[in-house]
Chains A and B, each alone.
Chain A
Amino acid sequence: MLILELYIFVLAGFVGFMVITRVPPLLHTPLMSATNAISGISLVGSLVAAGSHRSSVATILGFIAVVCATTNIVGGFLITDRMLKMFRRDDPKAKLPAEPK
């Protein structure tokens, strides 16, 4: 089982490296917030800790972990989307109605 997990870890790392090397510096900040949102996946561990009712300590720690992870998922995906929405090409048709100040 451990060996299988190591395979998964190493292969995912390779995929990550190959994909992320091609991300242009232009999008490095969205990349960071995106990986941040994705790392909120630790929620799946927190959910089990908070809901499996094994000990009250685990439940409470799990609850806090659920809050933290959910915060990252919700906030992370929203802010990434907000940033990516701002990146636009130069489009002569949409030549900026200068925004109100």
Chain B
Amino acid sequence: MHRHFKAKVVDNNFAAEAFKLITLSPVSEALVPLPGQFYMLESGRSTDPLLKRPFSVFRFNEGSLQFLYRIRGRGTTSIAGFNKGDLINVVGPLGKAYPEPDGRFMAVTGGVGIASLYSLLERNRGNSVLFYGARNAAELLYREEAEKLSAKAFFTTDDGSAGEQGLVTDKLSEFIKNEGKSMPVYACGPHPMLRKVAAIAKQNNLKCYVSLEEHMACGIGACLGCVVKAKSSVGDYGYKRVCKEGPVFDADEVLW
């Protein structure tokens, strides 16, 4: 079994406007990922785009891996062009997974951050209280499925087209005040959202794990391009690799 393998594209379909779900089937035996881990996917056949792109594993089951992604830059535009049957190079699973929750937990996500948290909800069916925010109803991807996997679910949108209009972090604060005092928080989403979630958790003395996203060249710990400023035992701060020491960090380690 190898962390570097070829996989066949089984499907690469739109999940919403500008979002796609790619399903891969490794051609050789591959390692089984844990929720929160990620893969580097080939970004095309030529040298432009050049680098692989990192994606959290969305779902996995018997021999297939799924990744949910937003088509945004040159890499994802190129990946969106892969067709059924194409063979692509993949490296993974990589990085640290979410620590296994011990009972109930809160899961907070914004936008395509659901891609990283979904498999955690699936693995811990019925144990999560989900807080899921997006710009609008159309971008609340896999809303129904995520709701079914959770004990309780709150949805927010910027425009009020689904769930409550407002910020997912406000909903989180409100819930913690009323009934969430003893649950750990798991979060993945835009950096400003994560910063806010970390602050809320800290105020309430709750354990908080965040999955960070960064541009990466290698994904395997060599290039030192994806680092994040973190607390250090020597000096005021150090840089930790999102690909190796992360992508899941204890929110307390990160210098926000």
Chains A and B are bound partners? no
B residues near A, CB below 8 A?
none
